[in-house]
Amino acid sequence: MANSAAKFMCMFLILSMTRQSLATEYLVGGSSGWGSPSVLIPWLSGKVFHVGDVLVFKYLPALHTVAIVDLNSYNSCHLNVIIDLYASLTGETKYTLTQPGLLYITSSIGLDCLLDLKIAIDVQV
């Protein structure tokens, strides 16, 4: 019985390490970066995001931020619930996907959200 539990734990650890080593780094918006709403939907097309993957946002620091928001804030662009907010002086933010589920991201500056500078992704295990 103990032998089976040990085998299970070893297998679990191996699979966990394998997934982490397969983590992908995504440049959000591709070469256009985070700041060009028109490229975001085509950029998202066909991508599958997993726990451990890293989203890299490149933007003009004075013009954009990276805000993790709730669904209502995402839909309405009234950013009443900001879960996390990143504003980099260098214009680069790296966000590691830590849990499965829906994730809503926008910029908290000016009209960015209303101009569709936002993405919703479904993070898989």
- Percentage of the chain lying above the pLDDT 70 cut: 83
| pLDDT value for 21 | 60
d(CA 76, CA 113): 9
Q: Summarize pLDDT for 14-39 with one digit per residue, the tens.
A: 555 545 568 999 999 999 999 999 99
CA–CA distances in Å: residue 78 to residues 38, 47, 65, 93:
21, 27, 15, 23
Q: Which two tokens stand for residue 90?
A: 């260098």
End-to-end CA distance of the chain: 29
Whole-structure pTM value: 0.82
How would you classify the pairing of strands 101-106 and 66-69?
A: antiparallel
Does residue 61 surpass a pLDDT of 60? yes
What is the rounded average pLDDT of the residues 57-83?
A: 97
- The superfamily in CATH containing domain 23-124 is Cupredoxins -  blue copper proteins (2.60.40.420)
